[in-house]
Amino acid sequence: MSGLTLTGLEGKVAVVTGAGRMRSIGRPIAVELARAGCDVVLTGTGRAPERYPDDEQAAGWRDIDSVADEVRALGRRALPAVSNVADADAVDALVARTLDEFGRVDIVVNNAGAARGEDRKPVVDLELDAWRTVIDVNLNGTFYMSRAFGRAFVEQGNGGSIVNISSIGGKMMAANTAAYAASKAGIHALTSAMSGEMGRHQVRVNAVCPGIIDTYRMDDVPRGEVWDALIAKQVPLGRHGTGEDIAYMVVYLCSDQGSWITGQLYTVDGGTVPGR
C-alpha cells in the first residue's frame, strides 16, 4: 500500500476568509485546497498597500489578488473578493456572489481574525471598542459566515464542510487575553452546537486551534533570541508552526477521509496544550 491520498475535493468550491496575507494561515489553506482540486473564493478587507508589512511591500504583494494568482497557477479558478465578515449584509452578498460565479459552494473556512492590539490587557482596563472589535470579527464574523453559508448548504442538499480557525487561546484562557479567549471559546461553542444541528444535512462543522504560528500576527514578538526563547519554553516539539501545518489539517477535515468527523476542536500546536 502506498501513501494515503486525500480524495473528494476535485471540483469543489471553497471559501476562505482572511486569505490575503503573505505570511499567514489563510493563504496556505487556500493554496492547499486548490492543490487538492478546489476552486477558491478568497476574501480580504481591502487593506491599503501602505499598510502592508515591509516584506509584502518588498515582494510587490497584492493581497488576495496575489493568492488568487497562486490558486490559478495550480489550474483552479479563483475569485478574490473584498468583504467584511463582521458585516452580516456583506456576508450575505458574498454568498450570492459565490453562487453566481460558481453555482455551488462546498467548503467554508472561517479564518479571518482581528489583529492583536489594544485588547491584550486586564479586563478592568479593557476599552469597550477593543472588546467589540475582537468579538465582532472573530466570533460574530464566524457566526455570520456559518449562518449564511450553512443556509446555502441546506438549500443545495449536497452536504458540506465548515472549518473554523480558532486558537489554543480559547482553551488556555490566559490572563490579559479576555477578549481574544472569549471570542475563540465562543467559536468552540458555536462549532459544537452547529455540528449537532447540521449533521442531518450531511454538513460537518469542526474547528482547528493553532498554537504559535510564524505569521504577521506575531510580529510584536521580536524574531531571534526572544522568539527562540518563547518557542523553547512553550512548544515541546521545539519549533514554531507554519501556515501549512494548519492547512494540512483543514484539507483533511474537508476530504472524504475526514467525512466521519464533526463537532471537534483539533489542537495543532506542537504540544503546547496537551490533552484538550
Tens of pLDDT, residues 16-28: 999 999 999 999 9
Q: What percent of the chain has pLDDT over 70?
A: 99
In CATH terms, 13-268 corresponds, of 3.40.1160.10, 3.40.50.2000, 3.40.50.720, 1.10.287.1260, to 3.40.50.720
pLDDT for 3 equals 78
Q: What is the DSSP string of 213-246?
A: B-SGGGTTS-TTHHHHHHHHHH-TTSS-B-HHHH
Q: What is the mean pLDDT of residues 80-89?
A: 98
Q: What is the mean pLDDT of residues 167-194?
A: 98
- Residues belonging to the active site: 180
pLDDT for 2 equals 65
> Where residue 242 falls among pLDDT bands split at 50, 70, 90?
very high
Q: What are the boundaries of each domain within the chain?
A: 13-268
Quote the pTM value: 0.97
Of all helices (H) and strands (E), which one includes residue 172? helix 169-172
**Close Cβ partners of 133 (under 8 Å, ≥ 6 residues apart):** 114, 117, 119
Q: What is the mean pLDDT of residues 238-247?
A: 98
For residue 56, the one-letter residue type is E
Contact 18, 112 (CB under 8 A): yes
pLDDT digits (tens, 9 = 90+) for 105-154: 999 999 999 988 889 999 999 999 999 999 999 999 999 999 999 999 99
Contact 119, 134 (CB under 8 A): yes
**Is the predicted pLDDT of residue 253 greater than 90, yes or no?**
yes
Contact 136, 124 (CB under 8 A): no
pLDDT for 48 equals 93
pLDDT for 117 equals 84
pLDDT for 1 equals 47
**Mean pLDDT of all residues belonging to the chain:** 97
